[in-house]
Amino acid sequence: DADVTQTPRNRITKTGKRIMLECSQTKGHDRMYWYRQDPGLGLRLIYYSFDVKDINKGEISDGYSVSRQAQAKFSLSLESAIPNQTALYFCATSDIARDEQFFGPGTRLTVL
């Protein structure tokens, strides 16, 4: 079983709809992250959480919100989706003692 899972893997929605992307991990890591990938722009950090009670904005948090329901779960919400939020979204985790991050398989979101 994958250590970091994301649901759904693909989603097509309409402008104005509320969307939630979910991330779960079995690695036992405290730290979790949400990134967005657009073609030609690499990955950009949306939000990150260093523990259940610690949530921080990243580089591009406008239009997004997050919830850290438990150590193993970190959800990303788009309250009112817009077409320029069409992208590939990654969840990642890391251990407090090491820097490398482990990524989920990604969620491909299309907003029409």
Partner 1 sequence: AQKITQTQPGMFVQEKEAVTLDCTYDTSDQSYGLFWYKQPSSGEMIFLIYQGSYDEQNATEGRYSLNFQKARKSANLVISASQLGDSAMYFCAMSPIYNQGGKLIFGQGTELSVKP
Which residues here bind partner 1, judged by CB under 8 A?
Answer: 30-31, 33, 40-45, 48, 50, 58, 88, 90, 92, 94-103, 105-106, 108
| Identity of the residue, 64 or 90, whose beta carbon is nearer to partner 1 in the bound complex | 90
Q: Report the residue number, 50 or 86, with the smaller CB distance to partner 1.
A: 50
Q: How far is the CB of 24 from partner 1 (least distance, A)?
A: 16
* b/e per residue 9-37 (b: at least 16 CB within 10 A): eebebeeeeebebbbbbeeebebbbbbbe
Residues in the chain: 112
Alpha helical stretches, state H, the chain? none
Closest CB 80 distance from partner 1, rounded Å = 26
Shortest separation between residue 91's beta carbon and partner 1, angstroms: 10
| Alpha carbons 105 and 96: distance in angstroms, whole number | 22
